[in-house]
Amino acid sequence: MPTTRPRIMVTETDELAAALDSAAVRYPGLSRAQLLTRLALEGQRVAQRVQEDRRRRRLDVLREHSGALTGAYGADYLERLRQEWPA
């Protein structure tokens, strides 16, 4: 099929063949190329979901601990610290 898009050549390794065979059971009637496309898109969605979950967990932890040290150093802490530095 003519296209201006780049084409990608992939060697069907044993692992890829097994993945395509498994996908063929879930998506009967698709060609191996279509199955590969489907698997790539599914993998991207899963990876995106994992990244979003990880980001959400990190933000939850930050919110949980936000402000935990408020007031711990006092208003003039930085000034006192700087006075200890050599001139």
pLDDT band at 43 (very low <50, low <70, confident <90, very high): very high
12 CB neighbour count, 10 Å cutoff? 11
pTM, two decimals, is 0.69
Give a yes or no: residue 78 inside a domain: no
Range of the domain at 24: 14-67
Judge contact between 32 and 20, C-beta under 8 A.
Answer: yes
Give a yes or no: residue 62 inside a domain: yes
Give a yes or no: residue 84 inside a domain: no
The count of C-alpha atoms lying within 13 angstroms of the C-alpha of 46, restricted to the half-sphere facing its C-beta, is 6
Q: Is residue 67 scored above 90 in pLDDT?
A: yes
Say what the pLDDT of residue 2 is.
Answer: 86
Q: Where are the beta strands (DSSP E) in the chain?
A: none
The count of C-alpha atoms lying within 13 angstroms of the C-alpha of 58, restricted to the half-sphere facing its C-beta, is 6
Domain count, the chain: 1
Judge contact between 12 and 20, C-beta under 8 A.
Answer: yes
| Average pLDDT along the chain | 95
Say what the pLDDT of residue 87 is.
Answer: 75
